Amino acid sequence: MKSIKPLLILFVLLLAGTLAVVYLLPYLKSEGKVSAEDRRGGTDMVLKNYGEDIDSAAALFGISPAYLKALCMLECSGKKVFPHRFEPHIYKRLKKVKFGTLPNYEHVTRDMLQDANDDALKNLASSWGPFQLMGYKCLLLGIKIRDIRGPQSVYYGAKWIDMTYGDALREKRFKDAFHIHNAGTPFPADGRARTHDPQYIQRGMKYMQVFR
């Protein structure tokens, strides 16, 4: 028994070392690539990290660059690196669509999800990119999730905005636009916002003034 104990200790140490190499080291390396500047937010960081791409996309789709910059500030604070947001209630609905207990969710049908595993459903139920576009929106655009969180995230985000409520922006109905982006509907007639943050629209309008 005494002779086995040192072997067990050695095994545990080797196992711990292996796990550290396989899991911990890559994590530390990836963290090292992210600078404090990448995590810093603010209106100046919106301009630095996304300004040129936003101006190009706004000109291409004929929508307000000040609105897109304000939206970027609301959704990611202009940060270059930020966590995605997983929405459990959307995940549950997409799962129901996949297994046929819900006919569809917005434009998403069962056929679109037949090859989606659980991880894919979670990605579709998470928001990505500087405008925090929900993953399942990529199905409407005919692209992959990596496209709305990669180098072309501003372009595809602006394209979805143009397809969904671009007319409201061109008509300068900015309150409706902010409400559609956050809550899915134009600003309610009763004057009570349904946004997650009650001040979302007011903050957005103030940021638009800054970026003008």
State which H helix or E strand residue 19 sits in.
helix 4-19
What residues form DSSP beta bridges with 108? 105
Sign of CA dihedral 77, 47, 201, 164: negative
> Taking a C-beta distance cutoff of 8 angstroms, is the pair 51, 85 a contact?
no
Question: Residues 38-96: pLDDT tens digits?
Answer: 788 899 999 999 999 999 999 999 999 999 999 999 999 999 988 889 999 999 999 99
Q: What tokens appear for 43 in the block?
A: 């209106």
Lowest mean pLDDT among 27-41, 98-112, 116-130: 27-41
Task: Give the integer Cα–Cα distance in Å for 46 and 199.
Answer: 20
Residue type, 61: F
Over its C-alpha atoms, the chain yields an Rg (Å, rounded) of 22
* Distance from C-alpha of 166 to C-alpha of 177, rounded to nearest angstrom: 8
CATH T-level fold of 37-87+125-211: Lysozyme (1.10.530)
| pTM score | 0.80
Domain ranges of the chain: 1-33, 37-87+125-211
Q: Is the pLDDT of residue 6 over 50?
A: yes
